[in-house]
């Protein structure tokens, strides 16, 4: 009889434990499902419930951080990325994610440290180099940025975003010929919108940078309204941002102001205007 009671007691413990595990898995599944569907507030609620009972689950903490970042609650995102880093201190992805947040919140020196650590631990990860490029750009270290974006391109040669960033670096370095080279690569190898297949921090950061670029170039054009290259650069930012009508206006202005009717600027502008008309339909 005592043996039977003991067996029943053991079975009850195992049953309760198994039921709790199933419940926990269901909560996580709900969290992840809402996260991938873009229902970030609901996902955060489920993640929080799951994490309260699974405090060492770094993946869940990281994913909740991604949700916070997606709704621009950057302080909460950094808190979760800090926790994920503490739970798994040599996992490069968490440093990369935190680095992006530091870029967005205007702390490029911290971002530089995180991306450098990620590169040291995972030197074959192009995203780590790409992230550090953004830190170097914010710190006005363009030669270092060029070195890193070339490393990213060597690791992943078919990513149009990398060529877009390298073109931006070349424009900072006033290397117009190489700037045009990369624009040509994008126009002829990636003619359609190359953001459509990306749902990541990379694109969020790119889009934020594009808005800033447009504002900066608008200011520059006001001070130098006869510069064809400024109109072309702003037009390309509008193009990438899918503001096709504004892009066409800028490319047309660039062509009118160009002193050389055989220039690459005119050839590329014509091609980009054609693309704008196709993609806007």
Q: In a structure prediction context, what are the per-residue pLDDT tens digits for the chain, which is 281 residues long?
A: 555 555 555 555 544 444 444 455 799 999 999 998 889 999 999 999 999 999 999 999 999 999 999 898 999 999 999 999 999 999 999 999 999 999 989 999 999 999 999 999 999 999 999 999 999 999 999 999 999 999 999 999 988 888 988 998 998 899 999 999 999 998 888 766 555 544 455 555 666 778 888 998 999 999 999 999 999 999 998 988 889 999 999 999 999 999 887 789 999 999 999 989 988 87
Let me know if 64 is exposed, middle or buried by CB neighbors in 10 A (0-12, 13-18, 19+): buried
pLDDT tens-digit readout, 153-180: 999 998 888 898 899 899 889 999 999 9
Best CA proximity match to 229, nearest among 260, 193, 274: 260
* pLDDT value of position 36: 87
pLDDT in tens, 219-271: 999 999 999 999 999 999 898 888 999 999 999 999 999 988 778 999 999 99
List, in order, residues 6 or more apart from 178 with CB less than 8 Å away. 170
- Which pLDDT does position 5 carry in this prediction? 55
> In the 3-class helix/strand/coil scheme, how is the chain assigned residue by residue?
CHHHHHHHHHHHHHHHHHHHHHHHHHHHHHHHHHHHHCCHHHHHHHHHHHHHHCCCCHHHHHHHHHHHHHCCCHHHHHHHHHHHHHHCCCCHHHHHHHHHHHHHCCCHHHHHHHHHHHHHHCCCCHHHHHHHHHHHHHCCCHHHHHHHHHHHHHHCCCCHHHHHHHHHHHHHCCCHHHHHHHHHHHHHHCCCCCCCCCCCHHHHHHHHHHHHHHHHHHHHHHHCCCCHHHHHHHHHHHHHCCCHHHHHHHHHHHHHHCCCCCCHHHHHHHHHHHHHHHHCC
Residue 114 confidence (pLDDT): 97
Domains of the chain and any CATH numbers: 14-73 (no CATH), 183-281 (1.25.40)
pLDDT of amino acid 19: 46
pLDDT recorded at residue 195: 53
> What is the token pair recorded at 61?
């903490």
Q: What's the predicted TM-score (pTM) here? A: 0.77
Of the candidates 92, 107, 75, 70, the one whose C-alpha atom is nearest the C-alpha of residue 207 is 70
Query: What's the pLDDT at 280?
Result: 81
Q: What span, in angstroms and rounded, lies between the C-alpha atoms of 22 and 18?
A: 6
Asked if 174 and 205 count as a contact pair (C-beta separation under 8 A), the reply is no
Burial category of 263 from C-beta neighbours within 10 Å (exposed 0-12, middle 13-18, buried 19 and up)? middle
Tell me how far apart the alpha carbons of residues 102 and 121 are, in angstroms, rounded to a whole number.
19
pLDDT of residue 147: 98
Rounded-to-integer distance, Cα 125 and Cα 119, Å: 7
């Amino acid at each position: 009889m005592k043996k039977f009671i003991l067996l029943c007691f053991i079975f009850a413990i195992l049953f309760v434990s198994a039921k709790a595990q199933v419940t926990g898995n269901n909560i996580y599944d709900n969290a992840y499902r809402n996260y991938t569907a873009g229902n970030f507030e609901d996902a955060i609620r489920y993640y929080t419930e799951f994490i309260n009972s699974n405090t060492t689950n770094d993946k869940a903490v990281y994913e909740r951080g991604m949700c916070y970042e997606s709704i621009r609650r950057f302080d909460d995102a950094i808190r979760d990325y800090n926790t994920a880093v503490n739970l798994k201190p040599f996992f490069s992805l968490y440093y990369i994610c935190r680095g992006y947040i530091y870029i967005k919140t205007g702390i490029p020196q911290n971002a530089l440290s995180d991306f450098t650590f990620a590169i040291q631990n995972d030197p074959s990860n192009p995203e780590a180099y790409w992230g550090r490029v953004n830190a170097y750009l914010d710190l006005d270290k363009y030669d270092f940025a060029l070195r890193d974006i070339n490393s990213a391109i060597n690791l992943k040669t078919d990513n149009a975003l990398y060529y877009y960033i390298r073109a931006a670096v070349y424009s900072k370095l006033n290397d117009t010929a190489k700037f045009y080279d990369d624009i040509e690569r994008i126009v002829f190898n990636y003619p359609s919108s190359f953001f459509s297949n990306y749902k990541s921090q990379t694109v969020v950061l790119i889009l934020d940078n594009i808005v800033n670029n447009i504002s900066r170039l608008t200011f520059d054009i006001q001070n130098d309204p006869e510069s064809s290259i400024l109109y072309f650069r702003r037009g390309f930012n509008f193009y990438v941002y899918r503001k096709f009508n504004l892009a066409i206006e800028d490319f047309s202005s660039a062509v009118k102001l160009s002193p050389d009717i055989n220039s690459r600027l005119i050839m590329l502008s014509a091609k980009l205007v054609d693309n704008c008309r196709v993609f806007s339909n």
